[in-house]
Amino acid sequence: MNELDAITTEAPECIECKHFIESIGRPACKAFPYGIPSEIWQGFKKHHESYEGDHGLCFEAIVQN
């Protein structure tokens, strides 16, 4: 796989999670306050199960009323 193969036009699932923290710098959330791991942010790994360092928090969809 080359660099272009990893480019996607889909938004990361993280932005649909209630734990996501909008920031100007590195993407972060309550599970990963110092930066979401790139394999999760880029969609190579789903965060629906425990992941090292996630403080016990996993993806939870934002509930729309």
pLDDT the model gives residue 1? 47
Residues 36, 59: Cα–Cα separation, whole Å: 12
pLDDT > 90 fraction of the chain, expressed in percent and rounded:
71
Residues 27, 39: Cα–Cα separation, whole Å: 12
Query: Mean per-residue pLDDT for 2-29?
Result: 79
Query: Mean per-residue pLDDT for 20-35?
Result: 92
What is 8-42 written as a DSSP string? --SPPGGGGBTTEE--SSS-EESSSTT---HHHHT
**Containing domain of residue 24, as a range?**
1-65
Is pLDDT at 31 greater than 60 in this prediction?
yes
Is pLDDT at 44 greater than 50 in this prediction?
yes
- Structurally, how many domains does the chain consist of? 1
